[in-house]
Copies of this chain bind each other. A is one copy, B any other.
Amino acid sequence: MYLSKLVGARTKENPADAVIKSHALLMRTGFIKAVAGGIWSFGMAAQRIALKIEQIIREEMNRIDGQECSFPVVMPKELWDESGRYSSIGDELIRFTDRTGHSLVLGMTHEEAAVHFARDNITSYVQLPCMIYQIQTKFRDEARSRGGLIRVREFVMKDAYSFHLTQDDLEEYYEKVFDAYVRIFKRIGLDNVIAVKSDSGMMGGKISHEFMFLSDIGEDKLVICSHCDYKANMEVAEGIITPNDNSCDNQTMREVFTGSAKEISEVAEFLKITSVKTIKAVVYNIKSSTKQVVCFLRGDLEVNEAKLKKIIKCDVVPASLSDSLDIVAGNIGPLGLSESANRVIVYDNSLRGCSGMVIGANKPDYHISGVSVNRDLKISNFVDITKVNDGMRCSVCGKPLTVKNGIEVGNIFQLGTKYTTSMNMKVLNKNGVLVNPIMGCYGIGVGRALASVAEDKSDEKGLNWPISIAPWDVYLCPLRYDNEDVKDLTHQIYDEFVKAGIETILDDRSVSPGVKFTDSELMGIPIRVVLSPKLLATDSVEIKLRNHAQSEIIPRKDIIQTILNIKG
């Protein structure tokens, strides 16, 4: 490829709306261009990277006996009615009608299509286990697309679906996919990926893992124990709360004036105590209902909404002050507040055995101090609704936990029979009985993986691609391309590279060495080979790796073998 012909303009300025590195650099190189919110065009360089990532994924899926298929982007409503997801999924699912008024959807995931294809094509246990997958465009109408390719609406995804006769067989295969994912992220050069236990959400099923690329720009929170193997998504993470020191708390209850102090931090400061000695109230509205949930937990902790939703089996949104019914916002306390047709009360584990606590008095300007949970509150049921924080300890080994940010680059789910039951897929087992196969499903977003590598590897000079997915191996950089001897040698070497399978972009522009070097670094091509009249005189070339500070002069005859060695 000749750089002069590449459709992709490089710019010096960061795009105004790009707040993360990968977004800014992929745009500044002309690799990608936004067509609408969360909808992107990929130029040649980005597409070459995407195709290489896809090929690595394909090889690893085939290695675990995956059968590459292709399911449609557009599917009929009836198919999604079978699983129930046509109505259960919200606005993320694009719904529209065709010329005859028939209702269709855009695929955001393909469980329905996979079961539809498999249910006539798999009839006997002899065919199990098997896995079908595709690498294909999907559309999810995200409310907040952001960060370039990190969170988009249209994306290419590898989605795989496996079918099994028994849970044991699923679990065995699940491990194989797990290992394949580890190999995939390693091969595409994405370090700092960890697998964490996750919440299955809308997918159904129970056991699932997310593969998280650890990055400060990640929107997901992960809880990691640095001592044992414990890792979990914040939504499901558990931790041991440091218990209160209750030794000097044999106090009696009394009302204390707290004035305008509403937030726990304000109350604690007003009363000169730590928030650990307070009981916090957090109020949620239950979606599609007039009910509220009042959560009580220790003042230094936060509510984990995912845990709360699971416990009350309802979706919730934080209540606003204007929603409050008969509650004194900022002074809510467990004493005298009872459950009713419109109110559910939930007490967190962190309150167990606490004494000497400050609680809201359920009237303006007052709290109550000296409260003993056991003596005064008569709570019959404690549950875990606490969000794990950096101060907590691992529930497995007791060592300190760390909270980190991550970007989800892959996920694997044990689906169970949710789809095979609802969509009536049955196979004959060894005893001749028709049973619903057990499914697993497994996804990797190609564009997000690409952006994550860009995010991880880039530096102040620009992008920096691992050679396994780089758009080109070599940036061939003749200085004084106007010099006929240099030009001849350039084309000779270019042809030799092509022949040797070394993918090369040739900077054939008549610009200064500085511009050429800057662009080669901005585009992140792993190997730069420089030719010049001076080097020509000694039959040498200069080679510099994007990852190394120093370049090296080597004999011209050694260049191909040197590069092949680097490619490995």
Q: Within the complex, which residue of B36, B50, B67, B102 is in contact with A75, where a contact is CB–CB below 8 Å?
A: B36
**Cβ A5 vs Cβ B69 within 8 A:** no
> What residue in chain B is nearest A127 (Cβ atoms)?
B5
**Cβ B127 vs Cβ A7 within 8 A:** yes
Q: Which of A30, A51, A94 has the most CB of B within 10 A?
A: A94
- What is the count of identical protomers in the complex? 2
**Cβ A70 vs Cβ B99 within 8 A:** no
A366 within 8 A of B: no
Residues of A93-145 contacting chain B, CB below 8 A: 94-96, 98-99, 102, 104, 106, 113, 116-118, 120-123, 126-127, 130, 132, 134, 136-137, 139, 141, 143
**Cβ A72 vs Cβ B41 within 8 A:** yes
A64 within 8 A of B: no
**Cβ A74 vs Cβ B43 within 8 A:** no
**Cβ B104 vs Cβ A36 within 8 A:** yes
**Cβ A70 vs Cβ B41 within 8 A:** yes
Q: Give the total of A residues in contact with B, Cβ under 8 Å.
A: 65
B contact residues around A76 at 8 Å (CB) = 35-36, 39
B contact residues around A46 at 8 Å (CB) = 70
B contact residues around A121 at 8 Å (CB) = 7-9, 30, 33, 43
Q: How far is the CA of A76 from the CA of B74 in the complex (A)?
A: 17
Q: How far is the CA of A75 from the CA of B96 in the complex (A)?
A: 15
**Cβ A67 vs Cβ B6 within 8 A:** yes
Q: Within the complex, which residue of B9, B47, B139 is in contact with A73, where a contact is CB–CB below 8 Å?
A: B139
Contacts A35-B113, A98-B94 known; A154 to B50 CB distance under 8 Å? Answer: no
Give 1 or 0 for each of A20-45: 1 = CB within 8 Å of chain B CB.
00000000001001011001111110
Q: How far is the CA of A132 from the CA of B44 in the complex (A)?
A: 8
- Least Cβ distance of A264 to chain B in Å? 35
- Least Cβ distance of A86 to chain B in Å? 14
**Cβ B35 vs Cβ A5 within 8 A:** no
What is the predominant secondary structure among interface residues of chain A facing chain B? mixed
Give 1 or 0 for each of A58-85: 1 = CB within 8 Å of chain B CB.
0000000101111111111001000000
- Least Cβ distance of A25 to chain B in Å? 16
Q: Within the complex, which residue of B1, B102, B130 is in contact with A5, where a contact is CB–CB below 8 Å?
A: B130
B contact residues around A127 at 8 Å (CB) = 4-7
A153 within 8 A of B: yes
> What residue in chain B is nearest A447 (Cβ atoms)?
B70
B contact residues around A404 at 8 Å (CB) = none
Q: Within the complex, which residue of B36, B40, B99 is in contact with A141, where a contact is CB–CB below 8 Å?
A: B99
B contact residues around A50 at 8 Å (CB) = 70
**Cβ B40 vs Cβ A69 within 8 A:** no
> What residue in chain B is nearest A2 (Cβ atoms)?
B65
Residues of A155-171 contacting chain B, CB below 8 A: 156
**Cβ B73 vs Cβ A44 within 8 A:** no
A552 within 8 A of B: no
**Cβ B33 vs Cβ A72 within 8 A:** no
In the complex, 14 of the A-B residue pairs with CB atoms within 8 angstroms, ordered by the A residue number, are A5-B130, A6-B127, A7-B127, A9-B120, A30-B121, A36-B74, A36-B79, A41-B70, A42-B69, A43-B67, A47-B69, A47-B70, A74-B139, A92-B99
The 3 closest A-B pairs by CB, nearest first: A96-B96, A44-B67, A91-B99
Given contacts A47-B69, A70-B156, list 8 more A-B pairs with CB under 8 A.
A30-B120, A36-B102, A41-B72, A43-B69, A51-B68, A74-B139, A92-B99, A98-B141
